[in-house]
Amino acid sequence: MASTRYTKDHEWIRLDGETATVGISEYAQAQLGDVVYVELPPIGKRLGKGDEAAIVESVKAASEVYAPVAGEVVAVNSDLEGTPAAVNEDAEGAGWFLKLKVADAAEIETLMSGEQYKAFLETIQ
């Protein structure tokens, strides 16, 4: 299984070949609370690293989801439009947001590993 990398904005990314799946971390969904709406990008949209890729709204707040790396959106999780709570149920699995055709796979290596992300979370809790 591909390794998961994380950003300081609490997105995760998992590379499989030249396509990467992107979502928000378990920590992020816990902070948001019950997710009630997800706005996904159009397929074909090109995103730079750090660009706004999606919006997630919960009963507490609305938050942007940023692209962890540059790439082109090749798929979105349209299931989230009807059942946004899937993000709460399985944020790092079935609750994924989008898939990117990655422009430069080396960018992923600059992100935090699971262990580094866990250590990062300990500094903010």
86/120 Cα distance (integer angstroms) = 25
CATH 2.40.50.100 fits 4-119, yes or no: yes
* Residue boundaries of the structural domains of the chain: 4-119
* Residue 100 burial class via C-beta count within 10 angstroms: exposed 0-12, middle 13-18, buried 19 and up: buried
pLDDT given at position 2: 66
> 2-34: per-residue pLDDT in tens?
689 999 999 999 999 989 999 999 999 999 999
> 42-85: per-residue pLDDT in tens?
999 999 999 999 999 999 889 999 999 999 999 999 999 999 99
pLDDT given at position 98: 98
